[in-house]
Each structure stands twice: as C-alpha cells, then as structure tokens.
Amino acid sequence: MPRLPRPAALALLAATLLGSTTALTPAPLRAQPAAGTTTAPAPTPALTVEQARAAAVRILEAIKTGDANARYAQFSDALKAVSSPSMVAATMRTQPKVLGYQLLSVRGGMKTSTVEAELRTARGNRVLFIVINGKGQIERYYVDRADDPTSKVALQFVQAISGGHFISAHSFLSPSFQKEISPASLQAKWLGLQRETGSFVKVGRAVEAESTPDMRLVLVNVEFNRLSDNLYVILDSSNEIIGVDFPENPAGPAPVR
C-alpha cells in the first residue's frame, strides 16, 4: 500500500495552498556545494548567435540521424561523466524517430546560449530547448511537456531514472531546478536509495495525490527487491518538475502472509 505523503512534499504543497509561491524551492533534493576552496577555471564565453545556430543544427542533425557517437561527443564534460555512447544509443531507441526539425529561436547569454527547436517525430511534434555552452556543447536541455498528463510526466521521469538515463531524466526538471541539480546528483540519489531498498525491480503506478492551480504532487510507486516505496514528484502548472522527494528512511520489507 502507498505510504502517507512525507512532510517535505506536503510542505511544498502547503506553501502553495497558503499562497506563498516563494516557498516553492526544490528541497529536499538539492545540489551540494563542492568541498574545499579551489577556484574553478573561468567559463568559456558564450557563442555568438550564428555560432550557436550552427552548433544547434549539428546537435539536431545527430538527433535526427540517430548518431549516438555524435550525440555523446556533443555533451558537456559534466554530461559525459554520467553517460556513454552505448547509453545514448539505448536512450535513443526508446524515443520516437525524428522525421525533421525547425529551429525556432536562438538567444545568446553571458555564458550559454538557449536554442528553441520543434522536432517532428513519428508520434507528433515536440518543442525542445537546448542550452549550449561556449564550446558548442550541450550543457542541459528540457522538453515542453505542458500538454501531457501530469501523472504520465512523473512516471516517465521515474522510468528514465530507474533505467539509468540520468540526462533524459534531467530534461524533465524546470530550468531553475536544473541549475541546482545535476544529472550526477540524480544518479547519486538513485544509487544511494538502492543501498537501502535493494536493487530496482520495476516502476509501478503513478497517482496524482494533491493539486493546486500552481502545483501538483504525484506519487510514483517503485518496487525494489527488498521492499516497495513511493517517489514524490512535484510539478508546476507547466508540468516541469520543481521537486523530487526520495525516501530517506524506507519502510522495512513487508512480512510474508
């Protein structure tokens, strides 16, 4: 049976019910500051609009042709650390074939450029936003899922995590949440959870537990070899994930009946 919602997830929901939208920060899953005081190298300046456009075309062509090696080579170093060409190929096999694309906009920034494109796939069109760094690599990306059922979005997010597709899972997060939580953080949380629950077995049902005009709470049941528990996924009104609550103290295995 599903467990009652944990306080962290309910606190986020209560903040919205009370009208305090500023409280919708994506705790309890947060990026941790790096240890030590070493100075990071200065980031490469953002590309020009024309350079970003050319990089976007290369990225979109790799997606269209299904070239996993090219797609992996286009990842930033942080994304490469949690992926491989074979993992990219496995992810692409689960996605609908891309028949074509249209570049909608290119917006330059201080450190990155954001490209908006519409993909024409075998299952319909989908708008994709790609953040490109100064080296022309994919820093992160997110997909417009506003018209999808909320429970389906949460379920697909958990399926991506459980399948080891942490970069794809990261694309479900809101842009602001993406800046706080890296794919490596998602990977660490998922692997840490399995040290308590045992190995992953399967994803069960996704149930929308609570909702407000601005936020929705979805419980996704996950079965492990020792026990079953829920992941709590909090989404905004655009179906972008703004919070994820992994079980910190999973319930023990159920007795044999």
Is-contact 162 203, C-beta < 8 A? yes
According to the model, what pLDDT value does residue 2 have? 37
For the chain, how big is the Rg over CA atoms in Å? Answer: 19
According to the model, what pLDDT value does residue 176 have? 94
Give the mean model confidence (pLDDT) for residues 210-239.
Answer: 94
Tell me: the pLDDT tens digits for 108-139? 889 999 999 999 999 999 999 999 999 999 99
Quickly list DSSP for 140-191: EEEE--TTS-HHHHHHHHHHHHHTT-HHHHHTTB-HHHHHHS-HHHHHHHHH
Give the mean model confidence (pLDDT) for residues 206-222.
Answer: 93
Grade residue 254 by pLDDT with cuts at 50, 70 and 90: low
173-209 b/e with 16+ CB inside 10 Å = b? bbeebbebbbbebbbebbeebeeebeebeebbebeeb
CA distances from 38 to 33, 34, 35, 41 (A): 12, 9, 9, 9
Give the mean model confidence (pLDDT) for residues 27-44.
Answer: 54
Is residue 30 over pLDDT 50? Answer: no
pTM here is 0.79
According to the model, what pLDDT value does residue 246 have? 86
Give the mean model confidence (pLDDT) for residues 82-107.
Answer: 94
Domains and CATH numbers, the chain: 46-144 (3.10.450.50), 147-247 (3.10.450.590)
According to the model, what pLDDT value does residue 53 have? 96
Read off the tokens for 7.
């306080």
What is the CB-side half-sphere exposure of residue 93 using CA atoms within 13 A?
A: 7
27-31, 108-112, 156-160, 205-209: which has the minimum mean pLDDT? 27-31
Peptide bond into 28 cis (omega under 30): yes
Is residue 91 over pLDDT 50? Answer: yes
Grade residue 44 by pLDDT with cuts at 50, 70 and 90: confident
According to the model, what pLDDT value does residue 25 have? 40
According to the model, what pLDDT value does residue 88 have? 95
Grade residue 10 by pLDDT with cuts at 50, 70 and 90: low
According to the model, what pLDDT value does residue 18 have? 36
What are residue 43's phi and psi, to 5 degrees?
A: -70, 150
Of 32 and 218, which is predicted with more confidence?
A: 218
Tell me: the pLDDT tens digits for 138-168? 999 999 999 999 999 999 999 999 999 999 9
32-36, 83-87, 138-142, 251-255: which has the minimum mean pLDDT? 32-36
According to the model, what pLDDT value does residue 247 have? 78
Is residue 104 over pLDDT 80? Answer: yes
Rounded Cα–Cα distance for residues 169 and 162 (Å): 9
